[in-house]
Amino acid sequence: MGCSHERQAVHGPLQEVAEGDFLKVVTETQRVVVHFCHREFTRCKIMDKHLAALTRKFFGTRFVKVSAPVRSRCLALERGPDSKH
């Protein structure tokens, strides 16, 4: 058995993905968790902390975030209560 550093190397830490690279990243990865976030939302920062912790437990899953304040409306995702309209 390898050490945790070797196992984590499968996908590594939480990564920020550019909007243009999003489809490539999610289609080339068998297991992926995507956080559509807004850099200014407090709840998104909290979610980033939790996702970063999960990367150390689920080595076979890729965790990415996409800064998408406008995209979230296009995908009909609910905005957090701390969002400003």
Over residues 3-46, the pLDDT tens digits come to 444 444 467 888 998 888 888 988 998 899 999 888 888 899 99
Is residue 39 in some structural domain?
yes
Give residue 10's domain range: 4-74
Is residue 79 in some structural domain?
no
Instruction: Give which of 44, 7, 8, 15 is closest to 32, Cα–Cα.
Output: 15
Is residue 85 in some structural domain?
no
> What confidence score (pLDDT) does residue 7 get?
44
| Residue 8, number of CB atoms within 10 A of its CB | 16
> What confidence score (pLDDT) does residue 75 get?
52
DSSP H helices, 32-70, are 42-55
Is residue 66 in some structural domain?
yes
pLDDT confidence bin for 72, thresholds 50/70/90: very low
Q: What are 15's strand-pairing partners?
A: 64
With vertex at residue 27, the alpha carbon angle to CA 25 and CA 29, rounded to the nearest 5 degrees, is 70
Q: pLDDT by residue (tens digit) across 51-71?
A: 999 999 998 899 999 987 654
As for how many domains the chain has, the answer is 1
> What confidence score (pLDDT) does residue 22 get?
86
